[in-house]
Chain A
Amino acid sequence: MGQAYGRIRLQEVVRGFRRDAAVRFLVVGLNHKTAPVEVRERLSVSGERRLEALRELVSRPTVDEAAVLSTCNRTEIYVLGPEVAAAEHEVVAFLQAQIALPDCRLEPYLYRKVGLEAVQHLFRVVSGLDSMILGEAQILGQVKEALHAALNANSLGVHLGKVFRQAVEVGKRVRTETEIGQNAVSVSYAAVELARHIFGELTGKSVLIIGAGETGELTARTLAAHGATAILVANRTYERAVELAARFGGEAFSFDALPECLARTDIVISSTGAPHVVLDLEMVRQVMRRRRQRPLFLIDIAVPRDIDPRVNDLDNVYLYDIDDLQTVVERNLARREQEIERVERIIAEETAALSQWWSARQMVPMIKALKAYGDEIRERELERLFNRLPHLSPRDREMIRASTRAIVNRLLHQPVVGLKEASEEEARGAVYVEVLRKLFGLKLEEGSHHGSSPAEGVRRC
């Protein structure tokens, strides 16, 4: 009977301890997997709107700390409140109000995660595991933005600040320690990667665009972003070429000038709608002679193809059609998928580290209470002593003060060390807290759990 009672008590204690540490942390959100774009675009919260949202959220008594992550694929609100159910209710209501459509029920699109699961979720998001394109790098910048916005809005406290800062570190770590962000997974990046394998750095290389296709344009822009300088544009109609060249700040040519253009460039992107071949074998062969055999990288993203496939058999000519590029992309995606396991391992490690930090922090109010308890007794007893012995000189008093301080500190030293050690294990930590609370008759102040002013909290973490 007594034993059963004891076990129930213990479970309650453990639960209470966890509630304090992790369970008050919560994320509510939606992403490209759970919600259609019509819903996502209405909930996109960025810039000034995000600051307002953050200030509004933390002004509610149910929310202590808040951060908002908003990208084109997701909107997620991370909060910490005294009661998780109330906080969740608050956030859902807030999101529902944002959508401003009375007949649109948001509920089915939302997911929510609590405590360490929410932490793990954020770490997965920042690693790009939750992204549309696996391992993409933009999300790391977006998480940083969310952190800075929350700092600006003064909506971060110790806990959420720590979580987001650590998330940024996780994002960096997985990208340096694994290949989750390595190897191009889009056609335009695959082209850049191949060009680098041929030319090394692209600085000073020139690009020729033949025809006006969207992918062609994107590829040229990506090449330019990686150092390619001169851009030439050739089109069947010269007017269209001029128009396109103006957008790139490049030179315009008509098709008659193709051999001259080819002689001058290193990388060619062809995407015309022509039903026949635009660059034939003979033209390229002659151009190569004029180029003195400098390598030529040809990218043919048109269907039907613009460039005679036999061109690839010429020395120093590297021809890639859209299928070749797709193959590269698929191969690279497969390689990223192989990295997921390693990323998950890092995330598990970091989540455990954060959990430990949380538990350790949980001890702070306990340790403070213990020390305050000791000081209080000491002060009271000293006062009584000095009242009874008024003849003591100031020097004697000082010595007695120092001596009693030492006694109290020595007495409490071992319990404090024990608490810090116990904090590494959640269950043990909880028992220690409870035991000390009982034995010393301590009361933890409400205020030391949460509700410390956000600005102060930020400084401390």
Chain B
Amino acid sequence: MLTWSELVYRGAILLLGVAFLTNFGTLFARRSAHTLLGTLGSHGSWVLLTVSLALRALARRHFPIQSEFEAVVLFVWTSLTGFVLLERRLKWSAMNVVFLFLAEGALLYSLGLPRDLTPLLPALRSRWLPVHVTLNFAAYAALTLAFVIGLLYLGQEWQLKRKRYTFFYNLLPPLDQLERMVHILLRWGFPLLTLGLIAGSLYARMVWGFFWDWRNPKLTWSFVMWLIYAGYFGLHEFAGWRGRRAVLWTVVGFLALVVNYGISLMVKNPHSFLQQFIG
């Protein structure tokens, strides 16, 4: 039986797929076309995903961050929110294609995840949870978009340095604009990440009685990730890192974010989605 929530969720996947294919098609168009269909796809998908998350939150009567499924969908939703805000302003078809490919991939992956509404863990019943999760996921969205644009920068920089021009040469925006956009996104993402970690730590104090636990790999790795992004600003300000090096650094930061997610899947703690937290 398809519930409303499931139906809307699948519609979102379909529309995002349409958006991806449309944007992919425009790469081959003679004129840099910004098709209505592409915008409708991404915006429509955002609306449906919002509804789907809202229905799930209503069914749960709580913030939907209990299972891996919910985490993935929430991550795609926040990133898509950021993307929709950027898409119309930048009109970078190459960015649209790369981002929509990743987002659609994540959603297709979530299709295979169990979607049952498991009972809420006691530790998650807190007003602090939404604050912590919202801040962190907003940060992830900005950092993910920075990563996508960083990839475009690295591709274009490689072409201009090696003087090897591929199909993408005329599709990619100027280096200067790409680098500036990466920096802007990091200036949003890093403070959000910092606030998210602080909120998480206060939250831990509430439920566990301590601010931080260095034996918890998830917390430790989150700190490493924070250090990497902090390092970006340090190197940018004080060592004058610009261009390729600075952008490569943000790619490293994103890899740390992916590892962080992997840890969530493996460890036994409230950040885990595989094992039930006991006590």
Contact = CB atoms under 8 A, between A and B. Distances in A.
Interface stretch (A14-22, A137-145, A156-164, A191-199): A191-199
A171 B160 CA distance: 32
Nearest to A331: B165
B242 interface: yes
A237 interface: no
A158 B111 CA distance: 67
Interface in B131-149: none
B174 A316 contact: no
A194 B176 CA distance: 12
Interface string B16-37: 0000000000000011000000
A260 B123 CA distance: 63
A179 to B, nearest CB: 7
A199 B176 contact: yes
A312 B244 CA distance: 13
Contacts of A447: none
A313 to B, nearest CB: 8
Interface stretch (A31-39, A51-59, A238-246, A288-296): A288-296
Contact of B177 (A176, A200, A318, A324): A200
A316 B244 contact: yes
Given A177-B30, A178-B30, A179-B30, A316 B242 contact: yes
B240 A292 contact: yes
A293 B240 contact: yes
Interface in B209-246: 240-245
A198 B174 contact: yes
Given A198-B175, A199-B176, A315-B243, A176 B163 contact: no
Nearest to A183: B170
Given A176-B31, A197-B156, A198-B176, A315 B244 contact: yes
Interface string A326-346: 011001000000000000000
B160 A292 contact: no
Contacts of A295: 175-176, 242-243
A25 interface: no
A123 interface: no
A293 B30 contact: no
A85 to B, nearest CB: 43
A324 B164 CA distance: 10
Contacts of B30: 177-179
B89 interface: no
B163 A197 contact: no
A320 interface: yes
A318 B242 contact: no
A315 B245 contact: yes
Interface string B238-259: 0011111100000000000000
B173 interface: yes
Contacts of A331: 165
A125 B174 CA distance: 34
B149 to A, nearest CB: 14
B161 A312 contact: yes
Nearest to A312: B161
A292 B173 CA distance: 22
Q: Which of A196, A292, A294, A316 has the most CB of B within 10 A?
A: A316
B241 A293 contact: yes
A182 to B, nearest CB: 8
Q: Which of A197, A289, A293, A315 has the most CB of B within 10 A?
A: A197
A315 B175 CA distance: 13
Contacts of B173: 200
B75 to A, nearest CB: 31
A89 B187 CA distance: 76
A327 B163 contact: yes
B242 A292 contact: yes
A226 to B, nearest CB: 13
A453 B31 CA distance: 43
Contacts of A200: 173-174, 176-177
A198 B176 CA distance: 6
Nearest to B174: A200
Contact of B175 (A176, A179, A197, A293): A197
22 contacts: A177-B30, A178-B30, A179-B30, A183-B170, A196-B174, A197-B169, A197-B172, A198-B160, A198-B174, A199-B175, A199-B176, A200-B174, A294-B242, A312-B161, A315-B242, A315-B243, A316-B243, A316-B244, A318-B160, A327-B163, A328-B165, A331-B165
Given A293-B241, A295-B175, A316-B243, 15 more contacts: A177-B30, A178-B30, A179-B30, A183-B170, A197-B169, A198-B174, A198-B176, A199-B176, A200-B176, A289-B240, A293-B243, A315-B244, A316-B242, A318-B160, A328-B163
Across the A-B interface, the 3 shortest Cβ-Cβ residue pairs: A293-B242, A200-B174, A316-B243
Interface of B: 30-31, 156, 160-161, 163, 165, 169-170, 172-177, 240-245
Interface of A: 176-179, 183, 194, 196-200, 289, 292-295, 312, 315-316, 318, 320, 324, 327-328, 331
